[in-house]
Structure formats: C-alpha cells, structure tokens
Structure 1
C-alpha cells in the first residue's frame, strides 16, 4: 500500500531536509500517523479541559472523548466491559500495578512466580523484587534449542505454589511468538493467574482477551502508532475489583469522610489523579488508523519483510541470525563476527538506517545466548523490501570497513 508512508509526516520532513530515514526500530516505538497528531492537537486546541469534573462544554467534550477512547480500547482487545480497561502510563506501569496491588498482598514465603527466560526487564524485575521482599521464589521458564519456550519444562514447573505466571506475547529481542492459549490453559489447571506482556502484539495479530483467556494483559500506546505516556491494563473484572489501588488521590473515590474512604467503581478506582487525556484520545485515533489499515495486513506485511530480511542477511558470511525461523512477527536480531553491535548501529546511522543495538532490556536472555548484545531490526507497515536491500548492502560495506 504505497499511500501508507505518506500518512507519517516524519518521512516527508526527513526528505525535505535531505536527511534519509529508514526506521527499523519499531519494536522500541512506532512513528505517528497524521491522524494521531491531529487528534492530540485537536484536543488541546479545540476542547481542552479536565475529565469527569466540569459541566461546561469543553469538560463534557473532553470527558466524552476520554470515555470513547476507553470503549475503542475495549473493542480493540475484546474485553467484555469498559470496567476491565485501565489506562496506565505504559506496559511498565501496568506490570507494577498488578505486582503491587494484586500479587504482593497475596504472596507468602514459599510461594512461586514464573517468568520466562525471554522477558523484557519490565516483566521480570518487578516480579523478582516482589519475590525477594516476601521470601518467595522466582522461577524462570527456559528456552529450547530453537529459542522457543520449552513447554514441557513449563508443564513440570506448574504447581499449587505458583501464584502468577508472567509471559511475553512476543519476544522483543528474538521475535518469537508464544503460544499464549496453550500456556494459559496449562496454568489455569492449577488456578495460576496469567499476566501477558503484549507490548509487541497490537500490530502483529488481533487481540481477544476473552478468547485468549488471560487474567491480565498490558500494552503501550507508543508501540501501536499512539503517543508516549499512555498504556492499557486489562484485567478480569472480579480481579480488578478485589485489587486495592496502587495510588490514591482525586477522581478515584466515591466518598471521603474523616473516618473512611469509599473507592469509586471500576475503572476509575485504579486511575488516581488527572489522567493522560490527550494520550487516550491519541491512542483512540491510533486504533482507528490500525482498524483502517487492518491488523492482519500490518502483521502480514511486517512478517513478510522479516522473512525477506532473513533471506537477504543470510547471504552475509559471519552474520548470525537469532530465531530466524520465527513466524508471523516483525523482529529480527543478528550479530556479525568480529564487529561490535554498537559499531554496526553507528555505521547504519550514518546511512540513515535506524536500528537498536545492545541487550534490549533482556539481560537474562543475552546471558543465556552468551553474547554481549545484538543488532535488532524491526519492521512496520511503512517499511519496504527496498529498505531491506539497502540494509543488506550497507552491512556488506560495514564488513569491508571493519574487517
């Protein structure tokens, strides 16, 4: 779809300024279409006010826009009620809400929490810290030789001691997509609650939390064409109702007296203070854009580019691709023997190619692989095979320069 790239003004700005930009760092964040930028600017310029408080027209318009954004998220992820959609500042904030408000009050010495070996630090460190504070044990689900989760090992780790299993939908380093339905079904046999880090999922596949069966799920708006500072925590209604708020303040209370406070109903119970109204409105516009293009189309395009990149980069001698057979995802990591990943990234930058180099906030994974880091490329709807060809040719130049 040639028209897609024109929807993202950064590429036109770069062209006019004579600064080439091939953006291949989409696992970190995504560029913003004009409709998202317009929605945010339209709120600030046209009907800015706080939500849920005033009766004057900008306040009612802002409140309506904020509520409509929640409904769009509900439909987007297949939740049964808007009460199950909590706005957060991002995936990291959502993880910490669940750790501190759901897990910690229920965690005792001798209990266990399971995470995988491929988790981002945001879905590893909070669970680890909680276990250490309560004398519980964090257990790590290992990967098999193909760098997929070893589900046979997982099955043997599931016991009545396990309180939560936290797992990523897609590895932000490897691009491996986990079989969430199978994992969740296994865990629920032991009444284990499952938290899904879906940060990399919204542009890869259609999300349906009811079909998936997860207890909690989180993602960040900025990785799905939306603005930074806005994210979503989905939780089953009964679980969110039984959770105490992580933060207290205005907007999340029903009644306050000297003696006691009665909390508001979901979802505002878990949204203390003035929310990120512009972020929610921007996320709603991003969801409209995703629906216009089609999640399946975006995911298919990115996965085909990954497959093409595997073919082209495999031609380079000394280049190692990790989890190269991973299907239907947009993320691909590699190393080149004798060249540091940061040197590769710096050279690519000079050519206008934006990639990520390093551990990608997955130290346990890179330690397992016994590497100091990788170069990661990650694709999106505005990328093309021509850009992959340019990447391959530039990597050939890098080899000639360094070796």
Structure 2
C-alpha cells in the first residue's frame, strides 16, 4: 500500500463550485475542504474553478426571484455575474477562477468554449511547470469533457471524476459520445451509495470506484458525548435552507401529531422561501411556544444548539450528501435522514440513526414514536454509534482516504 503522506502528488482539481470572493455562502465548500487537507499533507494542489456565467438578463431575474427558484428547483442561484479571471490563494490552496459563458443553467457549454478553456488551463499549468500526476474533477459538467481533452495532452496523468448526481446529465448533454468520455476516466467517485447505485444502473459498473464522503473538523468530536435521554424525545433541531425540497414544514406536522400535550421544542436554523408557510403553520397550530425560528447562525452556535438537542431531523430530497447530518451525529443527536438520498449508507437504520422517505410526515411520525418506545439506554447506544461514525469521518481522515485510494489504484 502506498503511503499518500510520503508519496507527494501534483493534483489538478477541476470544479464548477468553489469558495471565494463573490461566491454565495450557500454554495458548498466541500471541494475546498479536500484540497485544504491535501495541502496540509504536503501535496501540490492547483484548483481550476470553472464557474459559469450567463447573459445579463439572467441576473436581473435572479436578483428578484432567487429565493423562489431555489425553493422550487433546489438549486442555488448566483446573483452576481462573475465574468473575469481571478487568481487567489485561500488556506494555502492556489485557485484560478476561470469563468465560462453559457446561455442558461443546466445546458452544455459550446464546443468553442470547451476548447478555449482547455487551452487556457493547459497554458497555465505549462507556464508554471506544473505537470499533474492526478486530474480530479467534481461534477460532470463541464469537468468530464475538460478532463478528456486535458488527458489527451498530458498522457502521463491519471484521472478521477466524482459524481454528485446519478449521471443523467451526462447522457443528456453528451448524447453522441458519452461512452467515450466515461471510458476515459480511470477512477470514479460517488458522493453517496444511492448515487453509485443509480450511476451503475445507467452506465454499468466501473473498473475502479470509491465512496467520496465528506468529513467534519476534528474538534467537532473532541468533546465527550455524554448526552442522556428520557422516556421520550423532547428537543428537536432542523438545520438547513428552508426550501421546498427539504420539507421543513413536515417536521412540525409530524411532531405535532406525536405529542398531544405539545410538550416538545423545535429549533430551526436557516433561511429560505418556505419561511412564510412555516410561520402560518405555527400560527394555525398554536405552536409559537414550541418552535423557534433562529434564521442564519454561525457554525459554532449551530454546533452548541445541536449539543443541546436530542434529535436532528431533515428528510430532504435531492441531497447529494448532507454534511449537516454528520455534524449532528458528532453532537450525539439521534439523526433522522432520508432513505435513498445522500446520507443513506452512512446511516444504517436503527443502528446509528434512522431513515425515512423524503417528505413523508406520516412515516416520520411513526419513526419518532418508534424511538420514543426505546429505552433510555437504547437511545444512548444509537447516540454513541452516531458519534463514533462522525469521529471516523473527519476532514483529515476522509481526505487521506480519498487520496490513498487513488494512489493505490494508479500506481
């Protein structure tokens, strides 16, 4: 086995989403977390941020309707037109933001744009004398096509593409040559077990693949998990964007059905287009004393709220992974996540948490009753199992496992 700490790599990362100035805070930082840890381990990492930008009228619409669009589609909408090249360093990671124009979201980039981007990337790494050992892409559009073209020019490098969806985008965008593009990738990564199952059902099992889970900061599990439980769960928490696909109102409906005496408390952390509907439901059910809408809170305050809670619930749909579940497990919460979504496979139902059909408040109520029927000690066992799962999935551990797998596959 190759020790990825001693075998230093030159890694070129391609991604359409990355943190930086002008990037909405709602955009996931997951790729940066990997790159940051690889830098800490002594690897040479360069990030190409293939950010998309659109015609100006798109941003006019987005400015006024971004909340509605996000709530309906589940997609974060950029409200600033970032159309200029930018080089910056963050946490010692060198980032090249190289914007790419296209007519509208979810469409394919033009071949002219792909060719130009390939040339620009090659010129940057050639100018700096940076010949990558690995080219790693996250999300397929436009990374799959860019990786294919770059590999034709840097024959010695190996390639990896991590899927954040089931791959339907690939067959939709690359109708004529998607098989050729797929076969050019050396290693495939999947953000969740459902994504892997769906991708392999569509395109067949790949020769080399791995699960690309995210991790949490090590300090999240440095406390001792001494959470105790009574006969029934009383303190619940939801952390996430308040949009339709995350079903924030379903938690209120389910818990209200379980607790006739209204002797429960729910903390909501987040903002979004469903807030108005939630306020109306809370008023209708006369639950203002039972539900607190905190809005956005900094990460340290969210962590403390989780430590003070007993059960974290978010039964969302279309979740590629869901780092917030892991943070809740690190706080010792009994977590209820969605079945056949991003965290299915990390959570084993009844062992370190529970799984529910997305948006199904009736099943959610049944699961809460099931947990309430467990003894206090049985609840503590699930809490401890959740904590131990989170402890294994630290930022450092998952980044090392990620690179170690690739190193062993391409030796």
TM-score range, shorter chain: under 0.3
| TM-score (normalised: structure 2) | 0.28
* Higher RCO (C-alpha 8 Å, min separation 6): 1
| TM-score (normalised: structure 1) | 0.28
